[in-house]
Structure 1
Amino acid sequence: MHRTRLLTRHTATLLALCSLLACATASAAPARATVSNDTHATACAEEDNVSLNLDGAGIRRFRVEALPPAYLATIEQDRTAPDFSGCNFDGSAHPTDPRFSFKERRVVLHDGPRWQIVGITLPSFWRSEQVPVRVDSRSDRGFHMIQVFAKTGTRSLEALVMYPSDGYWRIKPLPPARFGDGVYGSSFVMGPIEQAGRPMARIASIVIESRPLAFRLRFANGGEAKVGVREISEARTTLDVAMKPGRGQGPRFAVLRSMYVAPDNADMSEVAWRATPDGAEQRKPLPEISTLDATDVRFGRSIPSRHNTTAPDIRFGSFETGPR
């Protein structure tokens, strides 16, 4: 009789646990982001005319990956020279940008066995903000670029650069040796997005931890983000992002920025996505994209471009919601 009561109690406990697990599984189901296209036409191969917005009410965690373009193995030579032939500026500054002057400098903020982290202040920049930056126990401020170099054997290769004054990021996988240091392509901004002539995020302070490598951002609206560098390799560079929203923050959590003139002259020319985790991949040229819902989305190219030929595709995915 005692054993029967124990078995009954054990069965009830198992059923309760199964119910809880089912609930947990259901709540952990991948979320979907809405992607909308604000691209405008241009003849300038050095202008970021592509804006692809990522919105998701309650999305708090996601992953960003830089992946080699599908055609990488078929090419032997990269094309990285700038092309201002269709532009109304020469690369020193965009004519519509404000321009603020600074004392130029380069500071090595960390030099360890795996990473070198460098802060760069440019002679001029379009934002005036001078964001405080701390790397481990070292503090500084006023950098326009934070570069991360991965130490791989005899080479140190840049794999990540972020811009404290406007919240932009660029990432790339480590390139095959024949392509030298490789090249960036599309960029993205994450956090509380606002428009100031272009999408941007106002960052109040940055703390960088070198072991393991992670960026902790505090935004001007009180929100926060942790950006963990999960992997840097020839296969991919991966960031895991966790966000805490701040005051007045809407559903937009990221914007991809890029360049598109034509399918063979673009840093990204098509969008591939899945509407559900086990759904078939869909793919469309960039000009045919208006709005879509996706559990993961890849902004890239399937034919070689004559502009930044080896620049990576950028994929967003692993969207998860959190408390509102």
Structure 2
Amino acid sequence: MFPRRPHILASLALGTLLSAAGMAMAAPIAATVENGTTATACAEEDNVSLVLRGAGIRRMRIEALQPGYLGGIDKDVTAPDFSGCNFDGGAHPTDPAYKFKERRVVLHEDAQWRIVGMTLPTFWRPQQVPVRVGARTDRGFHLLQVFRKEDDKVLEAMVLYPADGYWRIKPLPEERFGDGVYGSSFLLGPVEQAGRPVVDIASIRIVPKPLSIHLRFTRGGSAVARVSEISRARTALDVRLSSPTTDARPFAVLRSMYVAADNADVSEVRWRESPEANEQALPLPEVKTLSGTQFRFGRSLPSKHNTSAPDIFFGGFDGAPAR
């Protein structure tokens, strides 16, 4: 082996120092969660708003995880329950109803993924966001669906709503539960109020290999959500932001439903104040403001609504620059 020259050794030493500095920059950052939940008797209404804020965050991880009780239940209750609602499955009575030409387009298909764009006959917002998948560009979709292929099955694992910025993710279901169900949804990006929390997306680009979703926001900045895992255990997104977050505007909001502990898509919050700290838990009605480096929004008690719906995890907050 050739001996290393002095300038190479110096470069390696400098690289070690820079790597150490980078590791220091990537130290975990705490975020806060504020509970904006309101009371409801309607199991089909998003009355839960858990607002995430924090300064200096450029990277995070979001996961959909199987609820801890899943192995102990025999039946997955998936039917909608409008018994406590003032609507019966159509559009919410307070929403606008913009009309569109209904369509469904397969935007990409390969051995692993099927990506579908859907336009609904009515939607509550008029935005028509351009979407690019590979070399194909289209616009006006209300849902972008990601299906994972497994053996002879095509299973939906993720939905993004371009016109209002909502995401829904779930792990691949246990076979006894068919296609499984979604529960909570979340917003990612510069959140604002427009009748309800929204994120205005200027454009979306999907890269199939490796699968990643690139968002450009109307209010400025961008994000990349890389799909790092879709399995029976979890669906995981590794998120990189183009610029660090600030306390002035939420960077994410979890939206969900809570009527009672046994009728909820999220009924408790588990969190760690630091990576070394013990996990803590509170029932959702007792949560006000929490600070932590990771949060799990979920259920310990089986729910009679969307029983198999996943818990949603936010963590891995750090300030490392996007790569």
TM-score range, shorter chain: over 0.9
Distance 1:322 1:10 in 2: 26
Tell me what 1:155 maps to.
Answer: 153
Tell me what 2:250 maps to.
Answer: 252
**1:53 partner amino acid:** V
Unmatched 5+ stretches in structure 2: 1-6
Q: Shift of the alpha carbon at 1:149?
A: 0.5
Larger Rg: 1
Tell me what 1:139 maps to.
Answer: 137
Task: Tell me, yes or no, if the aligned pair for 1:216 and 1:226 is still in contact at 8 Å.
Answer: yes
**1:107 partner amino acid:** V
2:205 pairs with 1:207: yes
**1:312 partner amino acid:** P
Tell me what 1:305 maps to.
Answer: 303
**2:50 partner amino acid:** L
Q: Shift of the alpha carbon at 1:263?
A: 0.4
Tell me what 1:70 maps to.
Answer: 68
Structure 1 residues 251 and 42 mapped into 2: Cα distance closer, same or farther (>3 Å)? same
Q: How many residue pairs are counted as aligned between the two chains?
A: 318
Q: Shift of the alpha carbon at 1:252?
A: 1.4
Tell me what 1:3 maps to.
Answer: none
Task: Tell me, yes or no, if the aligned pair for 1:174 and 1:233 is still in contact at 8 Å.
Answer: yes
Tell me what 2:3 maps to.
Answer: none
Tell me what 1:320 maps to.
Answer: 318
2:123 pairs with 1:121: no
Matches within 5 A, 1:18-33: 22-33=20-31
Task: Tell me, yes or no, if the aligned pair for 1:35 and 1:52 is still in contact at 8 Å.
Answer: yes
SS of equivalent residue, structure 1 residue 178: helix
Q: State which of 215, 220, 226 in structure 2 corresponds to 1:222.
A: 220
- What's the TM-score once normalised by structure 2's chain length? 0.93
Q: Shift of the alpha carbon at 1:23?
A: 3.6
Structure 1 residues 141 and 17 mapped into 2: Cα distance closer, same or farther (>3 Å)? closer
Q: Shift of the alpha carbon at 1:22?
A: 4.7
Distance 1:267 1:21 in 2: 42
**2:163 partner amino acid:** S
Q: Shift of the alpha carbon at 1:251?
A: 4.0
Q: Is the deviation greater in 54-63 or in 296-305?
A: 54-63
Distance 1:81 1:178 in 2: 16
Tell me what 1:268 maps to.
Answer: 266
Tell me what 1:5 maps to.
Answer: none
Q: State which of 39, 45, 51 in structure 2 corresponds to 1:53.
A: 51
Sequence identity, in percent? 63
Cα root mean square deviation, aligned: 2.4
Distance 2:11 2:99 in 1: 67
Tell me what 1:188 maps to.
Answer: 186
Q: State which of 83, 86, 89 in structure 1 corresponds to 2:84.
A: 86
SS of equivalent residue, structure 2 residue 34: strand
Q: Shift of the alpha carbon at 1:20?
A: 5.1
Distance 1:84 1:29 in 2: 46
**2:292 partner amino acid:** A
**1:263 partner amino acid:** A
SS of equivalent residue, structure 1 residue 39: coil
Distance 2:115 2:15 in 1: 47
Unmatched 5+ stretches in structure 1: 1-8
Task: Tell me, yes or no, if the aligned pair for 1:192 and 1:250 is still in contact at 8 Å.
Answer: no
Distance 1:144 1:246 in 2: 28
**2:173 partner amino acid:** P
Q: Shift of the alpha carbon at 1:222?
A: 2.3
Task: Tell me, yes or no, if the aligned pair for 1:192 and 1:249 is still in contact at 8 Å.
Answer: no
SS of equivalent residue, structure 1 residue 59: coil
Task: Tell me, yes or no, if the aligned pair for 1:272 and 1:282 is still in contact at 8 Å.
Answer: yes
Structure 1 residues 95 and 114 mapped into 2: Cα distance closer, same or farther (>3 Å)? same
Q: Shift of the alpha carbon at 1:109?
A: 0.5
